[in-house]
Amino acid sequence: MPALPEAAYFTLPPDWVCEILSPSTAAHDRYGKLPVYAKADIPWAWLIDPTERALEVHHLSPRGRWEAELVIRGDVSVRAAPFDAIELDLAALWPDAKR
């Protein structure tokens, strides 16, 4: 964003969204929100599932459909787009993980 707007809201969509899934919201996050994000041309979406200890990285294709870029589980370190310049320790996301 080149400059903060004067308005109380942003009209420029983000480059990335992240949803933390829970048993009560997972279906809405996947089937309700992801299509809205695609329609807004948000290029990257992460779904983090603490119960499954999983990270899903999805990229919006030129056809406007989500493609799975990365699906990984466990206490591993990853480089996940669009932040692949840094290594992310997934164990830091799981409250009961041994570090």
Residue ranges of domains in the chain: 16-93
By CB atoms closer than 10 A (0-12, 13-18, 19+), residue 75 is middle
pLDDT tens across 13-70, in order?
899 999 999 999 999 999 999 999 999 999 999 999 999 999 999 999 999 999 999 9
What are the C-alpha distances in Å from 32 to residues 11, 54, 61? 21, 20, 18
Q: Is the peptide bond before 82 cis (omega within 30 degrees of 0)?
A: yes
Q: Give how far the C-alpha of residue 41 lies from the chain's centroid of Cα atoms, to the nearest Å.
A: 14
By CB atoms closer than 10 A (0-12, 13-18, 19+), residue 58 is buried
| Calculated CA dihedral for residues 66, 39, 16, 53, nearest 10 degrees | -50
Q: Provide the pLDDT confidence category of residue 97 given band limits of 50, 70 and 90.
A: low
Q: Provide the pLDDT confidence category of residue 96 given band limits of 50, 70 and 90.
A: confident
pTM: 0.87
In this prediction, residue 95 carries a pLDDT of 79
User: Looking at the domain 16-93, which fold is it?
Assistant: tt1808, chain A (3.90.1570)
Average of per-residue pLDDT across 74-87? 96
Q: Indicate whether 1 pLDDT > 80.
A: no
